[in-house]
Structure 1
Amino acid sequence: MAQASEHLQVQPGLLRAPRVTYRMAAPQTVLAEPGTLAAFGFGAGASDSDDPRWLRVALECFDAPAPVELWQVDAEVSRGCEGAVRWSAGGGWLFAAVELDEADFGGIEGASRQAYTELRRFVGARDESCVLRIWNYIADINHGQDDAERYKQFCNGRAAGLGDFFAHGFPAATAIGHHDRRRVLQIYLLASIDTGHAVENPRQVSAWHYPRQYGRTSPGFARAMLMPARDALAISGTAAVVGYASAHEGDLDAQLNETLTNLEALLATADMPAGFDTLSPLKTYVRHPVDAPRVRDILHQRLPGVPVLLLHGDVCRRELLVEIDGWRYA
């Protein structure tokens, strides 16, 4: 884990973090640029491409037209498909993605198990086997009660598929519910030839220590991950959780303010500069569309100039109304 007492210094000789930006562009334009490792469109209106580096994420953007999210590295990029895994690699970095129809695997738990089994096998055979960051997009994430809730079933399947692959530490991660009518599980990740530095939030209990009420299988993720050269912090999905409990149920403003406080705590623990700037892209997931204008207004006030992608997505706990993840560059 990163130690708060260490002074953040970019480590020479290690990999420079991929540059993550949002841009208004067609997929064929960004995919043709040198060093493009991955590109993402959002919602049903996003273009299609058979390039393995392109993924249409099943989350609708509240701003239209939606920008493309772009990952770029300082190297030539190769790409391909292996089984259900689509991948690209360059300069010591790896993007890998899996999309599975739950109906083919008996539901969310089976699809999650299969997806993580395939990712584990693929990444484990690569030189870029250090998984630093994962995104999970799940249909109807909050449906079901108690242990039958779909998010908890997803966590069971993920753990079964991974086995002991993360025995030495979890990556940063996001798990958000999408509203696509198809129950498709989307998972993608960023891995490297070098290890990162996991960061926990002193205001929160680590996810793998959550009490039994949050599922038979605890969520497995770090709150954030410093990239190998310590030049960027990849921030996990962050919401109004204090200790292990959700805070401010039913109060959007208070939840958003608590979330921003948690983000600042992560930056401080990682010895990153306080606040976010124009090079710090964030995603904000909002449960209820009616809340999107208020969230946008607060973020414009609190994070002026910061690029924020505002998406319709359900947080993994049904009482939570908003979640934020993203990047902070040194």
Structure 2
Amino acid sequence: MNQASSPIRTTAHVRPRVSYRPADTARALLQASGTLALFDFGAAATSDDPRWLHVPLHAPGAQPAPLELWQVDAAVEYGREGDVQWSCGGGWLFAALTIDERDHGGPQPAAEHAYTQLCAFLETRPQRHVQRLWNYLAQINEGEGDAERYKQFCAGRLQGMRDFFQQGFPAATAIGHRSDRPLLQVYCLAAAEPGERVENPRQMSAWRYPRQYGPTPPSFARAMRLQGDTSLAISGTASITGHASQHHGDLEAQLTETLTNLRTLLRHSALPECFGQNDPLKIYVRHAEDAEAVEDFLQRHVPDAPHLLLLGDVCRRELLVEIDGWRFA
């Protein structure tokens, strides 16, 4: 695993870094200077530190997934407010909520509650400009038609957002986890300055999807360019052109289409069409038996990029893999 750190540049603030670290270093990382957030995958966190978030996704195979670390070159404050755990430093903010759907009556009211709480918290902060959102929910593909859990989540999310994102949606990911608890987890990276939303000319903007994808279209931009910089926060990207899924059942073709979408996004942003050692990627794979083939594809096509491979369900049943991450100029 390549563990290079990745600078997030702005003109007015210190630069956060994103890196992957060994799974057994959590305690030391929390004690390190400038730790803004720490994410573990698979083994439940045992700390009450608001900067530490357990994400209910697992790596394929027996080895634990690396930790994901966000750091800033500044003093970090942190705390809890209602359901929100948060930290901030150097003009940047991490905020997260973990909601049990059983306390709210299902995925739609849980999503509405989570986004209502998150947006209300952000409204009180100088770092209120959301650059990137992550959403993880249980059994994302369960249900048929408008009763599918992902479609219910989309409806509740938009209701909870209200007019907070009236200037445009940030980059985002939504993936299904396999925990036996119906947890909804939402977390974000926000800044004191707004970013610039970027769309992919090969793909229809998600908020314009036709009715066949549900009564409420997904609410995200394909990427976010950070203010005063050409670095991109890249949304979950899959084998979709226009609004239609491509290459049903063909993992290699889906990976190739996904990488074409990513490179097109870079080209449309006037960036070189490559991912290097400063560009961390996160890959969500539906089937554990596909992990080896995905690793082989990554080594052939993006060998230098740090990557984290996790088992997760993509929001469309026919999609086998999704990739998100950062492209740092």
What amino acid maps onto 1:49 in structure 2?
S
Give the Å deviation of 1:206.
Answer: 0.2
Deviates more, 1:15-24 or 1:192-201: 15-24
CA distance in 1, matches of 2:15, 2:194: 12
Which secondary structure does the structure 1 equivalent of 2:305 belong to? coil
2:12 alignment partner in structure 1: 14
Q: Deviations over 1:166-211 (max 9, x none)?
A: 1101000000000000000010001011011111000000001000
**Aligned runs of 1:141-156 on 2, under 5 Å?**
141-156=140-155
Q: Deviations over 1:262-291 (max 9, x none)?
A: 000111111222210111111000001111
1:53 alignment partner in structure 2: 51
2:105 alignment partner in structure 1: 106
5+ unaligned residues in a row in structure 1: which ranges?
1-9
Asked if the contact 2:41/2:64 (under 8 Å) is kept, the reply is no
CA distance in 2, matches of 1:322, 1:78: 36
1:225 alignment partner in structure 2: 224
TM-score (norm 1): 0.94
Deviates more, 1:24-33 or 1:250-259: 24-33
Give the Å deviation of 1:11.
Answer: 8.3
1:283 alignment partner in structure 2: 282
CA distance in 2, matches of 1:80, 1:15: 21
1:5 alignment partner in structure 2: none
Asked if the contact 1:27/1:49 (under 8 Å) is kept, the reply is no
**How high is the sequence identity, in percent, across the aligned residues?**
57
Give the Å deviation of 1:127.
Answer: 0.5
1:253 alignment partner in structure 2: 252
What amino acid maps onto 1:322 in structure 2?
V
2:185 alignment partner in structure 1: 186
CA distance in 1, matches of 2:53, 2:263: 30
1:6 alignment partner in structure 2: none
Q: Deviations over 1:132-182 (max 9, x none)?
A: 100000100000001000000000100111101111010000000000000
Which secondary structure does the structure 2 equivalent of 1:327 belong to? strand
1:196 alignment partner in structure 2: 195
5+ unaligned residues in a row in structure 2: which ranges?
1-7
Give the Å deviation of 1:305.
Answer: 2.3
2:60 alignment partner in structure 1: 62
Distance 1:119 1:96, change over 3 A: same
Give the Å deviation of 1:259.
Answer: 0.2
Give the Å deviation of 1:231.
Answer: 4.8
CA distance in 2, matches of 1:254, 1:13: 39
What amino acid maps onto 1:53 in structure 2?
R
Deviates more, 1:94-103 or 1:26-35: 26-35
CA distance in 1, matches of 2:184, 2:26: 22
Q: Are residues 1:29 and 2:36 paired?
A: no
TM-score (norm 2): 0.95
CA distance in 2, matches of 1:255, 1:48: 37
Distance 1:296 1:12, change over 3 A: closer
Aligned length: 320
Distance 1:324 1:217, change over 3 A: same
Asked if the contact 2:95/2:187 (under 8 Å) is kept, the reply is yes
CA distance in 2, matches of 1:293, 1:11: 34
Q: Are residues 1:317 and 2:277 paired?
A: no
Q: Are residues 1:272 and 2:271 paired?
A: yes
Give the Å deviation of 1:48.
Answer: 2.2
2:95 alignment partner in structure 1: 96
CA distance in 1, matches of 2:141, 2:45: 28
Give the Å deviation of 1:295.
Answer: 0.7
**Aligned runs of 1:110-125 on 2, under 5 Å?**
110-125=109-124
CA distance in 2, matches of 1:123, 1:231: 25
TM superposition outliers: structure 1 runs of 4+ over 6 Å:
none
Give the Å deviation of 1:18.
Answer: 2.0
Deviates more, 1:263-272 or 1:133-142: 263-272
